[in-house]
Structure 1
């Protein structure tokens, strides 16, 4: 066990840290440490807690395809990490808490996170994440996606599982959640009742979707399939 938190320690993590095979608890949070976090840390065979939060570390999240430590808690929040969330993190099946908030992490949220059946708390707030929110995250007890660049509609079931503040700050998100804009209905759902059946024969029409801000097809035949006969 090594707890050296809140001591204003500077410098980088020693490369030999990855050789401490008996280490099961490593807390270096709230210091002034910098540099890249060695991947070897997540190779420690007995490590259960890794807390490097509130430092000045940069580079990628230190997880590789060989990371099979029995980690339960990873807290790398409030650093300067970039890159994406490595899919290899989905192999740490013992993980219960993952906090990568307040970094510069981009890319999409890996859909394989549903492999982490013990994961209960996920904090990815204040990053540059994009893409959609995986549906499987609804099973979490705590989730924070505040201030990213996520897109699309938040499923209604999420409004009953997490506070509204978990989603705000994502300008391209919409849904029935306080603080988010309402999702615009596609144009065809508005004009569909107004289109007479007589124009459906042999006609072709491209439809404009307000929701996706692009031209959609394939034609009026698709629209007519939903009209009452």
Structure 2
């Protein structure tokens, strides 16, 4: 009797799931592949997988908000990477969905996906197994604590997504246990606080923290990242001098420290960076002369020194500048170039030097030229200013009338005098 009751209840409870499994199995096996794990398929559907793709969500021709890659396991395949792109703002990244995918998921990415962020900490299996995580303009807001639990990541990207923190050491909170990181990008994420004094990811080769609110000086301990090739700290609020220890990062190919408040000169140790191709120090408060050693850096291809307070003569030859794809030095009021060495086209935005090595300043504008710049309507009419010529004086007509009146007055006086003499 009990067995009969169980047999009656079994189909009614599990019939929808069984039908789904059968459909998946038949459809995918027809294509010569094992079916997707049923629990993972349900998780993908909760994240926005379209019904028309339920047969093979990992197919090469897959399109839509949910894009997945799967292994070749048996009897079921499992999802190894998942990307949610341009998803609906009603999408929710639930703990149940992550739990179902956690056993096999190695890469998780969100792009232009305004989904609700996870409310709970990542499942232990996901935290242990995930190797790459990317969130670009997605999830409204992301918890730094949630990220910090993904301790086995090798690649972490958070861009154009506010990072929910609140500690002056919030960057250290995120990466303090990520010993395997090789690429770290946290850009335009409202990150504040200071650069860590201790880095726990010795294998890091790519570090991009641009577009945040990071303050303070660049610590010498940054050079503990000896294998780093790409360093971007631009558009923050960093101050102080560029540390001389920067020369220890001998693998650097790109160094971008632009749009900060760095002061002092360019340290000589920059010359010990043999692989450096891009050096961007624009829009800081750097001063002193531009060091000549930059000419000896054979690999340099982009050099940006604009909008600083450099002075003296540009020390470069035309041959050196011809090797560069980018050279910018405008916005340095005390800087000038030697006209016998460089042309105005090459040293664009830099004043020429006089014979004493000082910038040749343009002549001051006259009051007339200032008025013309403010009010000139482009008509070119010499009478438009109501009786003044192009040099700022009275017009010829006004001068003629004045001379005529003067002569008439002189004749009147002369006649009066003659009349008195004749009497």
TM-score normalised over the length of structure 2: 0.42
CA displacement at 1:65 relative to structure 2:
7.6
Match of 1:38 among 196, 218, 225: 196
**In structure 2, how many angstroms separate the alpha carbons of the residues matched to 1:4 and 1:68?**
20
* 2:341 pairs with 1:181: no
Which residue is 1:134 aligned to? 291
1: CA distance, partners of 2:348 / 2:255 = 26
- Taking a change above 3 Å as real, the CA distance of residues 141 and 62 of structure 1, as seen in their structure-2 partners, is same
Cα distance in 1 between the residues matched to 2:222 and 2:229: 17
Establish whether residue 9 from structure 1 lines up as the match of residue 169 from structure 2: no
Query: Separation in 1 of the partners of 2:308 and 2:220?
Result: 22
Gap change, CA 1:49 and 1:179, over 3 Å in 2: same
Partner of 1:145: 305
CA distance in 2, matches of 1:179, 1:66: 34
Q: Compared with structure 1, are the counterparts of its residues 164 and 2 closer, same or farther at alpha carbon in structure 2 (3 Å cutoff)? A: closer
Asked if residue 61 in structure 1 is aligned to residue 231 in structure 2, the reply is no
1:4-63 deviations in whole A, cap 9, x for unaligned?
Answer: 22211143213462442211111101111111111223x631000110000111011243
Equivalent in 4, 12, 22 of residue 180 of structure 2 = 22
SS of alignment partner, residue 4 of structure 1:
strand
Q: Distance in 2 between matches of 1:51 and 1:79?
A: 11
Q: How many residues align?
A: 188
Instruction: Tell whether 2:261 aligns with 1:101.
Output: no
Question: Contact 2:302–2:325 at 8 Å: present in 1 too?
Answer: no
**CA RMSD, Structure 1 to Structure 2 (Å):** 2.2
Distance (whole Å) between structure 2 residues aligned to residue 172 and residue 162 of structure 1: 23
Instruction: Tell me which residue corresponds to 2:314.
Output: 154
In our comparison, the structure showing a higher alpha carbon Rg is 2
Tell me which residue corresponds to 2:270.
113
Q: Deviations over 1:72-104 (max 9, x none)?
A: 001010010001100111001011100000000
Higher helix proportion (structure 1 or 2):
2
Q: 1:190-221 CA distances to partner (integer Å, 9 max, x unpaired)?
A: xxxxxxxxxxxxxxxxxxxx749xxxxxxxxx
**Does residue 1:169 correspond to 2:331, yes or no?**
yes
Unaligned runs of 5+ in 1: 187-209, 213-229
How far, CA to CA, are the matches of 2:210 and 2:268 in structure 1?
A: 25
Per chain length, whose mean CA-contact separation is higher, i.e. which structure has more relative contact order (CA < 8 Å, sep 6+)? 1
TM-score by length of 1: 0.75
Structure 2: stretches of 5+ with no match in the other structure: 1-154, 360-423
Matched position secondary structure for 2:215: strand
